């Protein structure tokens, strides 16, 4: 059969294909949004036919589009469009000022949401933090989230409207910080934030605007695929609608929340309905989400060893499983059932005890169901114990590495205060997991614990364990640094596998979608600082130019 005529050929470039069978090339042919052939200039030029466009790259670098495995894309865009946002390094005074300004601009009764605040601000907030926000406004419900987005700070009106006034009942899986009389102080964690989040929900119109914004943002960063890690029906509806409108120029997968951060579990019947209703050409919905623990600064991450006594933690009464959001036996049963139903499960787990329980649940699913072929994921994998390093490969589990805490940032002091510098040295163990043959993926967790979704600073941080922007000094766990060649598969091939799209994207291989980015020069010729400042010249998705500088 004659070879199809390319729509376009690109020659004279330096292509890093991420295809082990042909790692380097200079030219590529495209047809119908897919890669027709990869090879030398002469090989590709020989395919040219009538109507073929010829693009000369003049030595520029081409590589596969990047995959972001854990980002709350709609949430991040809504933050920038509609919330109070002062940045992760702002002072408490700056946050209060911005919140007061926003409240003054809105009709009385309109909720004000945003942040973030950091845990070292707690002393400034006073013994009853709600009072400080009451001084900002008593006519607007105010809910401000911390840098991790796992804790909320609310004023009295928000507390009342959320049904948490008076002496509120405890909420399973949640923490309500209380005054001496049992009333809420204004600080809430994990599932206890759920009724406050309901006050600040975004409209469908806002979500549509946010979908357009994050798509432009991601394409400009070089992303051609991403995974939404925490999808409820409003998020699924917004992603599906954007895809139906042809506005979401990204491959996407959405993990439907089954249990953890909100009170109660979503039924399997409802999970199946959501999966079927919102599946579309570029939105994959065979994914589920569980929350196993919280975050270290709030003492809600589950560790085998206690937090530092100097941080105010009750060391004498430390119980590792006390902060688990799901009972281990129930958790194992849920993962086993989801595995049987064909859902890839992503499990939020920060502390080493939570990570161990996540792996235990995958082991239970394997024992009950046999090899399903599903690569379940431990999200964040912040503190993996020595004993669990080898279990990822043994169980066919994925260590999803997020958020961008493997180099110094605004949250590092809070982490150090509750865990100590020694334990932080084993934060995000890239080198150790690599040595244990674990499969890893890259994720930012934007906007939770990451001020931006920029993958290039994340990549540079993997290579150096430094903040290459120079905003924060020092290093975090320098022994866990890895090389560029070791890091790039997390952003490409392994990211594609996490979307079950390894046969469709992730490398420049004939037959796959033409998802790629153009850079001014090879990443291997850049310093870490240059990588951190990198910006694509062009992003293609299914052959289309979706971003161009």
In a domain, 521, yes or no: yes
Q: Same domain, yes or no, for 520 and 379?
A: no
pLDDT of 3 > 80? The answer is: no
Asked if 157 contacts 111 with a C-beta cutoff of 8 angstroms, the reply is no
Residue with tokens 């690599």: 434
Phi first, then psi: give them for residue 222, nearest 5 degrees.
105, 10
Instruction: Give yes or no: residues 345 and 384 share one domain.
Output: yes
Judge if 463 and 321 occupy the same domain. Answer: yes
Taking only the tens place, the pLDDT of each residue in 14-59 is: 999 999 999 999 999 999 999 999 999 999 999 999 999 999 999 9
* Helices 455-464 and 484-491, packing angle to 10 deg: 150
Residue range 362-377: mean pLDDT, rounded: 97
Domain identity same for 192 and 310:
no
| Domain-embedded: residue 3 | no
E strands within 132-282?
142-146, 151-154, 174-178, 184-190, 223-231, 251-259
**Number of Cβ within a 10 Å radius of residue 470:** 9
Bridge partner list, 345: 288
- 242-258 average pLDDT score: 98
Q: What is the pLDDT of residue 448?
A: 87
In a shared domain, residues 272 and 381: yes
Q: Are residues 190 and 209 in the same domain?
A: no
Give, to the nearest 10 degrees, the angle between helix 204-221 and helix 73-82: 110
Q: Does residue 209 sit in the same domain as residue 192? A: no
Both tokens of 194, joined, read: 């759920």
Residues with Cβ within 8 Å of 156's Cβ and at least 6 positions away in sequence, in order, are 130, 133, 134, 138, 165, 186
User: Which two three-digit tokens encode residue 393?
Assistant: 């490969």
Residue found under tokens 């809504």? 78
The answer to whether position 77 is within a domain reads no
What residue spans of 51-155 are helical by DSSP H? 73-82, 92-104, 122-125, 129-136
Start-to-end CA span in the chain (Å): 39
260 — pLDDT class (breaks 50, 70, 90): low
Alpha carbon separation from 103 to 87, 134, 139, 251, 410 (Å, rounded): 18, 12, 9, 37, 26
In a domain, 74, yes or no: no
Say if CB 343 and CB 286 are below 8 A apart. yes
Whole-angstrom Cα distance, residue 41 to residue 25? 9
- For the chain, what is the domain count? 3
Mean pLDDT value across residues 442-448: 94
Tokens encoding 384 = 């993996």
Residue 189: strand pairing partners:
151, 175
**CATH label of the domain that carries residue 333:** 3.20.20.140
Average pLDDT over residues 92-98: 96
Question: Which value, to the nearest 10 degrees, does the dihedral of the CA atoms of residues 53, 54, 60, 62 take?
Answer: 50
What is the per-residue pLDDT for 100?
Answer: 97
Domain termination residue (choose one: 199, 231, 256): 199
57 and 121 in a single domain? The answer is no
Residue 85 lies in a domain: no
219-229 in b/e form (b: 16+ CB < 10 A) is bebbbbbbbbb
Indicate the burial class of 379 (C-beta count within 10 angstroms; 0-12, 13-18, 19 or more). Answer: buried
The answer, yes or no, to whether residue 488 has pLDDT greater than 70, is yes
Domain range holding 174? 90-199
pLDDT of residue 262: 63
**Residue 428: its pLDDT value, please?**
97
Q: Residues 35, 173: one domain?
A: no
Whether residues 315 and 372 fall in one domain: yes
Residue 2 confidence (pLDDT) above 70: no
- Can you give the CATH number for the domain in which 515 is found? 2.30.40.10
Q: Lowest mean pLDDT of 254-258, 295-299, 377-381, 433-437, name the range.
A: 295-299
Contact (Cβ atoms closer than 8 angstroms) between residue 477 and residue 432:
no
- In-domain check, residue 318: yes
Mean pLDDT of the chain: 95
Query: Distance (Å, rounded) from C-alpha 323 to C-alpha 302?
Result: 5
Look at residue 275 and tell me whether its pLDDT is greater than 60: yes
pLDDT in tens, 451-460: 999 999 999 9
User: pLDDT band at residue 172, thresholds of 50, 70 and 90?
Assistant: confident
CA atoms within 13 A on the CB side of 485: 3
Is 286 in the same domain as 416? Answer: yes
Residue 334 within any structural domain of the chain: yes
> What is the band of 263 on the pLDDT scale with cuts at 50, 70, 90?
low
State how far the Cα of 253 lies from the Cα of 282, in Å rounded to an integer.
8
Do residues 421 and 379 lie in contact, with contact meaning Cβ atoms separated by under 8 Å?
A: no
What is residue 127's three-state secondary structure?
A: coil
DSSP 228: E
Q: Is 416 a member of any domain?
A: yes
- The model's confidence at residue 149, banded by pLDDT at 50, 70 and 90, is confident
DSSP-assigned letter for residue 447:
T
Q: CA-CA distances (angstroms) from residue 152 to 119, 229, 298, 382, 487?
A: 11, 20, 11, 22, 34
Q: Are residues 518 and 493 in the same domain?
A: no
Residue ending a domain, among 141, 165, 199, is 199
Residue 68 pLDDT greater than 80, yes or no? yes
What are the tokens at 289?
């989400």
Looking at residue 527, its pLDDT comes to: 97
CATH code at position 195: 3.10.310.70
The residue out of 144, 165, 199 marking a domain boundary is: 199
Mean pLDDT of 349-378: 97
Task: Tell me which residue has tokens 């614990």.
Answer: 449
pLDDT given at position 298: 85
Distance CA 405, CA 426 (A): 11
Quote the CA–CA distance of 320 and 331 in Å, as a whole number.
Answer: 16
Q: How far apart are CA 549 and CA 535, in angstroms?
A: 9
* This prediction's pTM: 0.92
């Amino acid at each position: 059969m004659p070879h199809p005529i390319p729509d376009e050929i690109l020659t004279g470039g330096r292509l890093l294909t991420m295809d082990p069978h042909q790692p380097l090339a200079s030219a590529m042919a495209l047809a119908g949004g897919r890669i027709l052939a990869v090879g030398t200039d002469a090989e590709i030029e020989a395919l040219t036919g009538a109507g073929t466009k010829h693009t000369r790259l003049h030595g520029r670098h081409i590589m596969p589009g990047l995959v972001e495995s854990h980002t709350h894309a709609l949430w991040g865009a809504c933050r920038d469009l509609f919330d109070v946002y002062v940045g992760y390094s702002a002072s408490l005074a700056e946050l209060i000022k911005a919140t007061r300004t926003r409240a003054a601009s809105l009709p009385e009764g309109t909720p004000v949401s945003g942040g973030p605040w950091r845990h070292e601000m707690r002393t400034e907030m006073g013994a009853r933090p709600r009072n400080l926000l009451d001084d900002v406004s008593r006519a607007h419900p105010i809910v401000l989230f911390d840098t991790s987005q796992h804790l909320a700070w609310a004023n009295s009106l928000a507390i009342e409207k959320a049904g948490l006034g008076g002496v509120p009942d405890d909420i399973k899986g949640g923490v309500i910080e209380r005054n001496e009389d049992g009333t809420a102080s204004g600080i809430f964690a994990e599932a206890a934030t759920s009724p406050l989040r309901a006050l600040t929900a975004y409209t469908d119109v806002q979500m549509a605007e946010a979908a357009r914004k994050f798509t432009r943002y991601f394409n400009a960063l070089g992303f051609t695929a991403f995974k939404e890690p925490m999808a409820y029906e409003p998020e699924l509806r917004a992603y599906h609608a954007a895809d139906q409108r042809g506005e979401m120029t990204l491959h996407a997968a959405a993990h439907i929340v089954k249990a953890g951060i909100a009170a109660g579990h979503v039924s399997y019947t409802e999970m199946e309905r959501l999966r079927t209703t919102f599946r579309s050409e570029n939105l994959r919905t065979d994914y589920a989400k569980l929350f196993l623990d919280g975050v270290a600064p709030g003492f809600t991450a589950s560790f085998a060893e206690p937090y530092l006594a100097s941080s105010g933690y009750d060391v004498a009464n430390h119980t590792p499983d006390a902060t688990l959001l799901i009972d281990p036996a129930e958790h194992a049963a849920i993962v086993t059932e989801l595995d049987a139903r064909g859902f890839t499960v992503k499990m939020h787990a920060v502390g080493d005890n939570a990570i161990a329980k996540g792996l235990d649940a995958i082991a239970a699913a394997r024992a009950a169901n046999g090899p399903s072929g599903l690569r379940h994921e431990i999200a964040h994998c912040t503190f993996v114990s020595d004993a669990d390093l080898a279990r990822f490969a043994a169980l066919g589990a994925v260590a999803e590495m997020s958020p961008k805490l493997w180099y110094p940032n605004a949250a590092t002091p809070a982490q150090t205060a509750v865990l100590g510098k020694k334990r932080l040295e084993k934060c995000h163990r890239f080198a150790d997991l690599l040595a244990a043959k674990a499969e890893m993926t890259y994720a930012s967790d934007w906007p939770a614990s990451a001020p931006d979704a920029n993958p290039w600073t994340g990549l540079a941080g993997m290579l150096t364990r430094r903040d290459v922007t120079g905003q924060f000094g020092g290093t975090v766990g320098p022994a866990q640094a890895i090389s560029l060649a070791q890091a790039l598969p997390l952003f490409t091939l392994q990211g594609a596998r996490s979307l079950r799209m390894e046969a469709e994207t992730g490398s420049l291989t004939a037959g796959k979608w033409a998802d790629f980015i153009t850079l001014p020069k090879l990443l291997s010729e850049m310093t870490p600082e240059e990588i951190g400042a990198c910006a694509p010249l062009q992003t293609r998705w299914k052959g289309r130019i979706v971003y161009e500088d």
